[in-house]
Amino acid sequence: AYEGSTSYLDTNFRAQWERNLRQFRSQHPSGSKYLSETWKGKSRFFRPKTRAAVRKSEASCAAAFFSTADVVDITATDDNDDVQQASALFWKHAIDYRLTKSVPWFLLTMGAYQDTQVMGACVAYNDWDFENDRPGPEVIPLENIRLDPAARWTDPINSSPYLIHLLPMYVHEVRTRWAGAGLSDGELLAARTNEWDSTRLVREGQRTDPKEGANTGIKDFDVVWVRRVFMRRDGQDWVYYTLSNQRLLTPEVVPVTALYPWLKARVRPYVMGISVIETHRNYPAGPIELAAPVQNEINELVNQRRDNVRLVLDKRYLVKRHKQVDLRSLSRNVAGSSTLVDDPELDVKPLEWNDVTSSAYQEEDRLNLDHDDLMGTFSGSSVAS
């Protein structure tokens, strides 16, 4: 199940996710001509329209969720039932307290929404933190979840015959939680190195993978990968943990309701959300993917115009070979400087370019409008246009 779902994800979605992440970070996609040696001396600017649009969408999301002091509004279905009214009042204050005091609700909400904008979907795990006696929800990176490709698009989490969650855990946490498993250093080392992920590296800006662990020599602080597996068999969901693909950690496979007694049958403690509806796709395209062609066209237009302006202001020259021409002075082209030549008419010839016209700026304005339409955001300049 893991290998099949991973192969499907790698083949169909991983490259697009990484392009989305680079675009969100205002970086040209891998393989772009702007990253080649040919474009080293040319303009390679990335106009951050995508990041600006996402930030505006996040502001709208924050206003929708947090514009009032009360996080939730709970009322009784039957206003004439005193018990329902008392229950609604109690749960309103209880949930308001949890989402304000003991759960980082703002970070979770905005993080999940950002995932839908960038990756196209978000996944959250909902559990209870028994050590601190409070809710323990967390937003999961999309690349750490494995689902069956044939799951229903309306409910991929619960319709998939399996769900595999890749968990990064410290060695000391694994040894404490599964103390009776008798884990060897070799098995832990294999679980540390098995889950290299290119999407995670792109999200970090191609920096060192933070899940590799610090090279401090303290093995208990190394990060290893554990898999939480939900598997459906004979109409019932079962759950167990494995140390990467090395060995089983839990002493036995148990029904989901044994670990999560508040869940109904055939329901898992995960939820998946999207911000763009795209029928019959478990991983729909997000706004960043939809606007990518327009963003690329904006970058192309801006860089061409910048190159044109540079050539107009700082010309190129044809210089005759083997002549006594001060090439360093010519290439610097500093105002008020002198360039030594034998015959300026024959040895050096400037190349002339026409200045870019206002039509380039008008075209950029139209591309900005197209981008705002796709992303669903409107700036002051867009309204004026």
| pLDDT computed for residue 329 by the predictor | 79
Cα 258–chain centre separation? 34
Angle at 320 between CA 317 and CA 323, to 5 degrees: 120
Cα distance between residue 164 and residue 282, in whole Å? 16
Determine which helix (DSSP H) or strand (DSSP E) holds 138, and give its type and residue range.
Answer: strand 138-140
How many other C-beta atoms lie within 10 A of the C-beta of residue 176?
Answer: 10
| pLDDT computed for residue 364 by the predictor | 79
| pLDDT computed for residue 238 by the predictor | 95
Cα distance between residue 328 and residue 284, in whole Å? 54
pLDDT by 10-residue block (mean), the chain, 385 residues: 94 94 92 89 90 92 89 91 95 92 93 96 93 91 95 95 95 89 82 79 79 62 92 93 91 91 88 94 93 91 86 79 79 71 73 73 79 74 70
pLDDT tens sequence across 344-383: 776 777 767 677 777 777 777 778 887 787 777 766 666 7
Cα distance between residue 268 and residue 222, in whole Å? 29
| pLDDT computed for residue 352 by the predictor | 72
* Amino acid at residue number 11: T
Cα distance between residue 118 and residue 17, in whole Å? 8
| pLDDT computed for residue 165 by the predictor | 97
| pLDDT computed for residue 381 by the predictor | 66
Indicate the pTM of the whole model. 0.84
| pLDDT computed for residue 184 by the predictor | 83
pLDDT tens sequence across 128-174: 888 888 889 999 999 999 999 999 999 999 999 999 999 999 999 99
| pLDDT computed for residue 330 by the predictor | 74
Nearest to 139 by CA among 169, 156, 115: 115
